Amino acid sequence: MNKKENDKDHEELKCILDEAVRITKSIKHLLNFSRPLNITRDKTNINCIIEKAVADVKFLIQDKKYYCKKITS
């Protein structure tokens, strides 16, 4: 076997190995996605959640004609 054939075989084997690794990662991600979530319920203050959500998206609406107003009762 000459050097060119050996290089070609090496490249093909490297490609096969790379694809096998890629497929293995994809399967692991699919398996993790399909597993049921362990959800725990706790009492929480809904106002804190809303304030956090508004703070997280505030930069999205700052240049628009939208505004947020906190109403307390």
Name the residue ranges covered by the structural domains of the chain.
3-61
- The pTM assigned to this predicted structure is 0.43
Task: Measure Cα distances from 57 to 17, 62, 71 in Å.
Answer: 43, 9, 18
Closest of 70, 32, 31, 37 to residue 52, by C-alpha: 70
Write down the pLDDT at residue 56: 84
Q: List, for residues 31-41, the tens digit of each pLDDT value.
A: 988 888 788 88
Asked if 54 and 68 count as a contact pair (C-beta separation under 8 A), the reply is yes
Task: Say if residues 11 and 4 touch (Cβ distance below 8 Å).
Answer: no
Q: Above 60 in pLDDT, residue 1?
A: no
Residue 66's pLDDT band, with cuts at 50, 70 and 90, is confident
